[in-house]
Structure formats: structure tokens, C-alpha cells
Amino acid sequence: MNITTILVTILFLLVIFILPILSSHFRKNKNLIFIYYFVVLLYQMVAFTNAFWFRTIGADMDANSFHVLAVEISNTGVFQFYSDANLYKNIVGYLYWLTEPSLIIGEQLSILSISISMIVLVNIIDLLKLNKFQTPIVFVYAAQPTMVMLGALTLREPIEVFLLITAVYFGLKMRIYPNKKILNFCFLLLFCLCMGLFHKALFLYVAILVCVCLIWNINKTQSIFIINKYRLLILVITPLLLITLFYIAGNSNISGAELFRMVASLDIFEAIAKHRTYTPIGRASYVVPFDTSSFITVIYSSFLIYIYYLFTPFIWQISSITDIYAYLESILHMILLYYSIKLWRLEEGQTRQLLGMMLILFFILTLMFAFGTTNYGTGMRHKMMSWWMLALMGGPLLYTRIRQFINY
């Protein structure tokens, strides 16, 4: 490790360790600062182990490929910032070109993204008025083993998670603070655009995210069908925005444009069915085809695909130690999803409406990734995108039940 790598790594470490001091929420909560530094230390242990000792879990495939390709890009000095995986490779390659082609530097970019996401998540917790659960929510989100093992590697998921959390944060602020609606809407669009450029599925998801943020009513009303002139204007403008987005994206050359064209022409169902049929079958695969023969079979097969995505491997599929961990993680997903729905039912007023909005965003995001996932190994990585939502909504009641059990 040369002097440039050392200096750049130290600079990343300083920024990561200074971040919580800049947040008033963290300064007021010493336990929250302790959890932050504890979690960051776990991520750094994974990063340094993978960079200088041996490859950690999940570091031998896509993470290593991204690093190797980024090194090649930095050596050529030719950068093409398009979209999808190519964008991430070129960003890391450009970082290597500016500094040094060292794996530890690429990993620090991922850890910085997760660190900032923790700061933003605490701000979302404040918006939802769940401040007394700040520490357990952040711990459940960032200290989950999959997050720790994969969040410290050269993968695009850490950056995508950070961008998604930040986009939702500004979407929530837009609904809560009407006097700053335009400013927050602009930031929402900015982070949605950045997020969509990193993954073709997220490019489609951001259109739905913006739509939900525009039309969702957070005020407690007797009927969801109450219409006023502002709500009517939004209901007219939102479809126009979506049609414009679909037209521009579908006729562009960016990666993922074909997805918009398929959605617009309804060929997306056939594409999903082909993808699930011809994807190679491995040890962690689950064979759940997407049946488009009738409306009933589409609904039924979609339900099965979704259940398998969220909760596999099932107990009868366990055949190794890694399967045991994956099974335990699926159980935790089930518990947190149950508590998320329960918290929504228990809350009232604005908080209940905001939690309802978060649940809708969670179900849409996970359903989209479910259609493109055919094995639970890949599913564990994809579920990093939605894990923070479960931690946010299910964490409070999970923490409460654990405290009750300990004090019993």
C-alpha cells in the first residue's frame, strides 16, 4: 500500500467518522453515536480483511469484477458515464484514476454511502415521529450481517440504498412541509434521477416513487375520495409527467430504455416469463415460472414469485450453513414485515398515513425485484434496497417486544 492509498483512505475515514458530529440528532443521542461507530467499525473490518487478507463472503464475484474493470478503466483514462452497471464501474474507475487503483479506496466509497444513509435515515425517523427508537432502528438497518458483508464491498447497492433513502426523505418532506414543496420536489427528482441511472429496475421504480409522493394524502380524512382543486390538479399532472418520462426514456439510448418500451407496449409480461424460464438454475435457485396464460394465473404466479423472493429458503430447502443463515434472515424479514403492518395499524393521523405510504413503496419495490430474481442468493443482495424500510417500520415494535421479554 503506497502513500497515496494511505492518505486517501485516511481522508475517507476522517469524513466517515466526522459525519455524525455534524448531525444534531446524533449529538443529542450518545447511544446513537456509539451504534454508528460500532457499525462503521464492522464495515471497516470487512473492507480491510477483503483488501489485505482474504476475500470475504460475497467478494469473489460481482464485487471483484467491478473492482477489476474499474482498474482497467482507470488505466486507460477513458470514461463513459452512461447508466446501469457501466456508470458504477466508471465512477469507481474515475476515483481510482484520481487517487490510486486500490481496492480499499473503492470499498471506502461504499462505506461512505452507507454512513450517509444512516444520517438520512435518522432524519426520516424524526419525520415519522419515532425518535425514541432511533438507536434500535439504525442498528437493525446497518448491523444486519448481509448489509455489513456486502455494504463494505465494491458493489453499487450501497450507493443505490443511499440515493433511495435520500429520495424518500425529500418525498416525505414534500408532503409534510407544504411551504417548501417545490424545493423538496426538485431534490426528490434529482436523487430519483441519480438512483435510476444506477439500475434499470430502479429507473422504472423512480417513476412510481415520484407518482406516490405526488398523490399521497397524509392528512387524516373520512374518505380517500375527497377531491379539491389542488388534488385534482395533481391527479391530472402526474399521469402527464409519467407519460412524458416513459416517452423520453423509451426513446433514449440509456441502459434500461428497453424496459420502458416493454412496459409501454405491455411486452414486459412476456419478458419476465422468458427471463424466469431461461435463467440458469443453480443450487440456490427456486423454480417459480411466471404464467401469462390468463389473468388468474398472472395473479397467482406473481403471488408465488413474491412469497419466494421474500421468504426463501424455506426450511425444507436448507442443505448448508449458508442456507441456515439465509433461512434465519427470511424469518427476520417475516417478523419485521408483520411488525411494520402492525405499527401502521396502531398509529394514528399523519404518522399512520406516512407509514402507509412507506408500506406501499416497500411492496412495489420488492415486487419489482421479485420478478427479476430466481435464486435466494441474489435475492439477499437485492433485498438490501428495501431492508431499511423494514428496519424503519418494524424495528420499533421488535425492539419493544425484546425489551418486554427481557424484563419479564
Range scoring the smallest mean pLDDT among 27-36, 62-71, 231-240, 275-284: 231-240
Q: 368 and 348 in contact (C-beta within 8 Å)?
A: no
Query: Per-residue pLDDT tens for 342-372?
Result: 999 999 888 999 999 999 999 999 999 999 8
Q: Which amino acid is at 114?
A: I
Q: 343 and 355 in contact (C-beta within 8 Å)?
A: yes
Higher per-residue confidence, 360 vs 4: 360
Whole-structure pTM value: 0.90
Percentage of the chain modeled with pLDDT above 70: 86
User: With bands split at pLDDT 50, 70 and 90, how would you rate the model's confidence at 85?
Assistant: confident
Q: State mean pLDDT over 104-119.
A: 96
Higher per-residue confidence, 43 vs 1: 43
What pLDDT score does 224 carry? 47
Q: 241 and 210 in contact (C-beta within 8 Å)?
A: yes
DSSP states of 348-406 as a string?
-HHHHHHHHHHHHHHHHHHHHHHHT--BHHHHHHHTHHHHHHHHHHHHHHHHHHHHHHH
Spatial separation of the C-alpha atoms in residues 12 and 377, rounded to whole Å: 30
Spatial separation of the C-alpha atoms in residues 81 and 28, rounded to whole Å: 40
User: With bands split at pLDDT 50, 70 and 90, how would you rate the model's confidence at 252?
Assistant: low
Q: State mean pLDDT over 78-105.
A: 89
Q: State mean pLDDT over 102-120.
A: 96
Spatial separation of the C-alpha atoms in residues 105 and 109, rounded to whole Å: 7
Q: State mean pLDDT over 101-110.
A: 94
Average pLDDT score over the chain? 87
- CB under 8 Å to 153, separation ≥6 — which residues? 46, 47, 50, 56, 58, 59, 63, 107, 110
Positions of E strands within 39-113: none
Spatial separation of the C-alpha atoms in residues 270 and 212, rounded to whole Å: 26
User: With bands split at pLDDT 50, 70 and 90, how would you rate the model's confidence at 27?
Assistant: very high
> Rounded to the nearest 10 degrees, how much is the dihedral formed by the CA atoms of 240, 246, 251, 253?
130
Spatial separation of the C-alpha atoms in residues 307 and 349, rounded to whole Å: 31
Residue 337 has pLDDT above 70, yes or no: yes
What pLDDT score does 250 carry? 56
What pLDDT score does 154 carry? 95
Query: Per-residue pLDDT tens for 188-198?
Result: 989 998 998 88
Q: Which residues pair with 53 in a beta bridge?
A: none
Residue 68 has pLDDT above 90, yes or no: yes
